[in-house]
Every structure is written in structure tokens, then in C-alpha cells.
Amino acid sequence: MKFNRLLQGLFIILIIHSCATQKLTGEGETAYQAGDYGSALNAWDQVIEKYESKGERADAGIYYKAGLAARELDQPKKARDYLETAEYLEFSSPRLYATLAEINKKFDNLSKEIEALEGYHKNYPQGDRINAVTVRLFETYVESEQWKKAADIWPEIKNQAQSDSDLLTQYLTVNKKLENDALCNKLSDQILELDPDNTIALEWNARRYFWKAEDVYVKEMKDYKNNRTTSQYDRLLNKLDEVYPTFEKSLDYFLKLYEVDPKPKYAEYIGNIYKRLQEEDKADYYYEKAK
């Protein structure tokens, strides 16, 4: 009899506990819907505490909603902890991943931000925020120097990036690292149409035309030195007629670049070009600037 009464007592306690938990859960939901995030979070905190005090977990949805409430109250650490627990318990929603991404960006935790963005991108390709998520995922791949992943995801944002010089510049950086020179040539020209003072695109074009001219210049001068014939000299003159305009094109880019960002290395390039163009005074002037 005593054992039966004990079981009945425990059963009653469990019922009371369950009713209290359900009541708190409902109060939290009502408060959240009314925009009273403080009361909602307080109720869900209590629910979570009741479960965790027994070494258990509340329902994943409770952690998720508590995380959202904490986010609304500008409590990012609690919000992240709750949302990560919800994810661990296999709760999934586009808002969960988007919110985790935002919070981790705020905490400057790039690896966790990428994980959240990838979760959204993989699980909700038709989500309302997929465009913004994909753009940010591309940017985080660039920030973390995951060049191949950045290149792979580019086609998904290519159309919306055509008028965005910042995204195009990042894609230029990606392709520089991947040594896709032909594509870099196109991108740099496209970027400069949108942003004439873009230093990354200016430097790409400046170096591109300099080395195009320099390689030919060095080769032809070497060939003439090794074979000082009239025909070789004529060939040299013809090649120089082709090379000098290319040097001048590079010079235009370097002068613009130096105007925007007067680094000594740019001054040295300018001095080298003026030397090739046989303008010694200007070459000396920029060599001084390069020191």
C-alpha cells in the first residue's frame, strides 16, 4: 500500500510539473506574439531550467524561440547558446541559420558564421534571404581565403554582381589567386568602368601592360645584342614602335594609381617606364619618390 501511495504521489508531482511547464511554455508564446520578449524569455528560461536541472533537454523548439527572444533583447551570447542547442537537437529553420550567421558576424567568429551561412544555403536554397545569404557566403569565402569555394559559388551571384564594384573586386582577387589571368583582364576593365579609382583593378592593369611591354622589350634588345645586323635592327625598331604605346598605357594606369595611393613601389614602376621611354629627368624624379 505504501508503495502504491508513493507511486501515486510521484505521478501527481509529474502531472503538476508537466502542467506548470506547459503553462510557462504557453505564457512564453503569448508574450512573444505580443512583442513582450522579456516576459517570453523569462518563461522559456524557466522551462529550460526545469529540464536541465534534471539533466534533460527541453524541446528543441523552446531553445529556438528562447534564442530568438534573446536576440530581440540584444543578448547575443544567450541567443547564440540557445540557437546552437536547438540546432544540435536537429531543429532547422531558415531564421535559425540566418540569426546565427548575424550573431557570429557580430562576434567576429568567421568560421561559425560560415557554418551558419552554409546551413542556410544547403537546406533552404529557395529561402526568402537566399540572395543575401549567398552574397555574404561568397564574401566570407574570400575573407577566409577559400578561393576555390568562392569561385564555385560565384555563378549564383554573378548577375546581381555585375553593377557591384566591391563584389567584382573580390572576384578579381579570387581569380588572381587562382591565376586566371584572362578573366582578371576582363574583370579589371569592368571594375574600372564602375569605379575608376579602384586601386586593385588599377594595379592589375598597370602591371599587366607593363610586363606585356617589358617582356617584349627585354627579348628584342637581347636578340639585337646577340645579332647586330641591319635586319635585326629593323625588327627591333618595329617592335619598339609596338612596345612604347603599351608602356604608355601602363604609365597612365600607374600615374592614376600613384595619384590615388602614392606608394613607393608605384613610383619605381613609373620611373622604370620613363626610363624605357628615354625620359631620364622624369625617371629620376620618380626614382627619388621611390626611395
What's the pLDDT band for 7 if we cut at 50, 70, 90? very low
Domain end, chosen from 64, 91, 118, is at: 91
What's the pLDDT band for 22 if we cut at 50, 70, 90? confident
Confirm whether 68 is domain-assigned. Answer: yes
Question: Within 10 Å of residue 30's Cβ, how many Cβ atoms?
Answer: 13
Q: What is the C-alpha radius of gyration for the chain, rounded to an integer number of angstroms?
A: 32
Number of separate domains in the chain: 2
Confirm whether 112 is domain-assigned. Answer: no
Confirm whether 182 is domain-assigned. Answer: no
What's the pLDDT band for 25 if we cut at 50, 70, 90? confident
| 8 A C-beta contact, residue 269 and residue 289 | no
Query: If you search the block for the grid coordinates 586593385, which residue do you land on?
Result: 200
Cα separation, 267 vs 214, whole angstroms: 17
Confirm whether 121 is domain-assigned. Answer: no
Give the pLDDT score at 11. 43
Domain end, chosen from 59, 91, 123, is at: 91
Is residue 150 pLDDT above 90, yes or no? yes
- Report the pLDDT averaged over residues 195-206: 97
Confirm whether 127 is domain-assigned. Answer: no
- Report the pLDDT averaged over residues 37-58: 94
| 8 A C-beta contact, residue 133 and residue 118 | no
pTM: 0.87
Confirm whether 225 is domain-assigned. Answer: yes
Confirm whether 100 is domain-assigned. Answer: no
Q: The CATH number of the domain where 36 resides is what?
A: 1.25.40.10
Give the pLDDT score at 23. 79
Query: If you search the block for the grid coordinates 575608376, which residue do you land on?
Result: 196
Domain end, chosen from 91, 112, 140, is at: 91
Q: The CATH number of the domain where 207 resides is what?
A: 1.25.40
DSSP letter string, 31-59 = HHHTT-HHHHHHHHHHHHHHHHTTT----
Closest CA to 113 of 122, 105, 125, 124: 105
Percentage of residues of the chain with pLDDT beyond 70: 93
Helices (H) and strands (E) in the chain, counts: 15, 0
Query: If you search the block for the grid coordinates 622624369, which residue do you land on?
Result: 282
147-179 burial string, b = 16+ CB within 10 Å, else e? bebbbebbebbeeebeebbebbbbbbbbbbeee
Name, in order, each residue with C-beta under 8 angstroms of 243's C-beta and a sequence gap of 6 or more. 213, 216, 217, 220, 276
Is residue 63 pLDDT above 60, yes or no? yes
Give the pLDDT score at 21. 79
Domain containing residue 41:
16-91
